[in-house]
Amino acid sequence: MVTSLLASVALPVFAQDSTALSANTSTELQTITVDGKTQKDTRGYQPVSTSTATRSDTPLLDIPQAVNVVSNPVLTDQAATSLDDALANISGITQTNTLGGTQDAIIRRGFGDNRDGSILIDGLKTTIPRAFNDTVDRVEVLKGPASTLYGILDPGGLINVVTKKPEDQFSATVYSRYSSYGAGRDGAKAGLDVTGPIEGTDFSYRFIAEGQKADYWRNFGHSDNWMLAPSLTWSGEDTKITVSYMHEDYSLPFDRGTIFDLTTGKPVDISRRTRLDEAYNITDGHSDLAKVSIDHDLSDDWKLSLNYAYSRNEYSDNQARVTGYNAKTGAVTRRADATQYSTMENHALRADVTGDVDLGGFQNDLLFGASYDESDTLRTDMLRCKTSSNFNINNPVYGRLAACHTVSASDSDQTEQLSTASIYMQDSLHLTDQWILVGGLRYQYYDLYAGKGRPFSANTMSSGGAFIPNGGIAYKLSPSVSLYANAAKTFRPQSSVGSYYGNLDPEEGTSYEIGTKLELMDGLSANIALYNSRKRNVAYAESVNGESVVKAAGLVRSRGIEVDVAGQLTEHWQMIASYGLTDAKVLEDPDYAGQQLPNVARNTGSLSLAYDFGEVNGRGDTLKMGGGVRAVGKRAGINNNSYSLPGYAVFDAFAAYTMKFERPMTLQVNLKNLFDKTYYTSSIGSTNYANQVGEPFNVSVTASVKF
């Protein structure tokens, strides 16, 4: 299977002109790296600089804010397949309601939800439901408020997925991966990544493709998706223009997980592989993302950047939704639902001017910018059918609840339209070689419209503006140690398509943070942060008469400590590790005051080590091995804290052997959840009937060839 897939994917590469291939093989093989041109931003596991925090390439020690980076070598060694895999390496992060595994849903420092605009691709907001695929080069996490530079966000921060770009030297990789979850649940994936210059021109190209077919690890279900991503860069004397496109088709299980019994506080006593829905629980869709990036040097000191992204996601899904459970009899009440012809579109445009200038004898790193974002969501036909209690966990029989075909007029045509326009500026003032002051201000205007129903009823019609400031200071004790502090505000308009609560007040937050950044030794970086955030009018989901509606809490506080370390321990050892302590609770609310926020773990931690043996024989073959643990503490499963998801620790391991042929070939084995731990990654937060089950022990074998 692996060999045939590898051969099929390799055909486009072998089809290239043989002269061009041979000309590059002898001269370029020694310079090819798996992570492309990322050495300026990372060195192996170690983060070095970032543009996410300042919109210009800045050393991490000079930024008065916590920034964590999961580099390409980490993603490769761990065989990461999702954003959750990548972010397991970062402190203070947990999963929340993933809409049955169909959406990225990340909590940062106690705040976050699916579709909350916190996951950016190359610094721009999109509608892509799952941002992680083979185009990803690295993942950067900007902790704390980022609204001054990026607009509507939570105090927890943002996640920036940085994609691979065309390079001016030829390289190519083809791979094939086979994975197994036992019980006959297997999958196969293949991919291609080729980049290089177009000879005789100022253009370089990149083409990335992947395809996957896999059985779902639970007792039924199947995933089938493929992705194509071409990109082209033109490099002039003072200007660089990159145009990229990504298209993905996907079909995957819509799986809400399992039930927690409120009488025992534990999951119902069934196999973790047993699903409580039906075979038609599937989400089918396709996503498109087109981006244009223009960088122009206005002078030696000033640079203009223009960035635009258009994204579109269309999908339909069916589900047998669990709405009730009888603990005495084991009977499960279910309702057949469906969302048909849902479309989400987003335009994101920003222009930045950055420059270095001396004012009054002080160096100033200046940023001036403007942005415009427009999102439009329409869920056309919402299907709702009657409930049925003919399913029992003690003797599950499928096929007794037919898929729904009845359109609910009152719940259809769910619409949300949000447009925002902003201007902003920021200055990093270097008072001395040691002291750096950072201050910024954004003016944000928004126009929000939402509603639903046939005939249509507009429930949210609001507009307004706000000034969003931030400030920070960094003090460099030495070239390898800095102390920092920051304070910032956030502002987030919110809507509800239902008429139960009417207009919701905007969320407003304030956050304070102090910390230190260290270069512990040559090649090892660390960040330690203490923070305190408060946010009013926090939106959360609640079930009212069987319908999920949005409500706002009065005041929520999140505070904690975070430690992140990444880089080179010795010549052969590499490490990435994290620990986060998060205390997030509702301070003021008539219903939930004093309660912990759902899915926010008080403790999170991770440790991954890799040992590079280097050359292991006289032929130049190399070996790298490693492993680690990812742990998440107990979390509230629901708003009223009536049950909790238990904490867990999951262990992983890998080994990669590279054979130095004319075209190097690597065989890599990854073992995940080595001890086959049963664990639960998240709940939906509004009921005890939907709790995501973590993957059991699984093994993947990857064969890749470089050209």
What does the pLDDT look like over 276-318, one tens digit per residue? Answer: 999 999 999 999 999 999 999 999 999 999 999 999 999 999 9
**Beta pairing partners, 108:** 93, 111
Structure tokens at 514: 């102090």
User: In this predicted structure, what is the pLDDT of residue 547?
Assistant: 57
Residue 227 CA neighbour count, 13 Å, CB half: 25
Residue 3 has pLDDT above 50, yes or no: no
pTM of the model: 0.91
Q: Which of 303, 363, 423 is CA-nearest to residue 62?
A: 363
For residue 455, is the peptide bond before it cis, meaning its omega torsion is within 30 degrees of 0? yes
User: In this predicted structure, what is the pLDDT of residue 510?
Assistant: 93
CA distances 421 to 150, 153, 418, 465, Å, are 11, 14, 10, 9
The average pLDDT across 388-400 equals 96
Residue 543 has pLDDT above 80, yes or no: no
Which percentage of the chain shows pLDDT scores above 70? 91
The average pLDDT across 628-637 equals 97
User: In this predicted structure, what is the pLDDT of residue 470?
Assistant: 93
User: In this predicted structure, what is the pLDDT of residue 550?
Assistant: 63
pLDDT band with cut points at 50, 70 and 90 for residue 503: low
pLDDT band with cut points at 50, 70 and 90 for residue 496: confident
Q: What mean pLDDT value characterizes the chain?
A: 90
Residue 594 CA neighbour count, 13 Å, CB half: 3
Q: Which of 357, 352, 348, 245 is CA-nearest to residue 295?
A: 352
User: From CA 642, how far away is CA 648, in angstroms rounded?
Assistant: 19
Could you tell me the residue ranges of all domains in the chain?
2-706
**Beta pairing partners, 180:** 186, 699
* Least confident among 399-413, 424-438, 500-514, 663-677: 500-514
Q: Which of 379, 395, 239, 231 is CA-nearest to residue 303?
A: 239
- The answer to whether the CB of 71 falls within 8 A of the CB of 34 is no
Report whether CATH 2.40.170.20 matches the domain 2-706: yes
User: In this predicted structure, what is the pLDDT of residue 12?
Assistant: 35
User: In this predicted structure, what is the pLDDT of residue 544?
Assistant: 56
User: In this predicted structure, what is the pLDDT of residue 502?
Assistant: 54
Structure tokens at 521: 């030794």
First to last CA, the chain: 22
Residue 80 CA neighbour count, 13 Å, CB half: 26
Residue 250 has pLDDT above 60, yes or no: yes
Instruction: Name the helix (H) or strand (E) containing 656.
Output: strand 648-659
pLDDT band with cut points at 50, 70 and 90 for residue 28: very low
pLDDT band with cut points at 50, 70 and 90 for residue 56: confident
User: In this predicted structure, what is the pLDDT of residue 152?
Assistant: 86
Q: What letter would DSSP give residue 522?
A: T
User: In this predicted structure, what is the pLDDT of residue 34?
Assistant: 33
For the CA atoms of 427, 431, 432, 434, the dihedral, rounded to the nearest 10 degrees, stands at: -70
The average pLDDT across 423-449 equals 94
Q: What letter would DSSP give residue 84?
A: H
CA 321 to chain centroid, in Å, comes to 26
pLDDT digits 0-9 by tens, 655-705: 999 999 999 999 999 999 999 999 999 999 999 999 999 999 999 999 999
User: From CA 125, how far away is CA 420, in angstroms rounded?
Assistant: 12
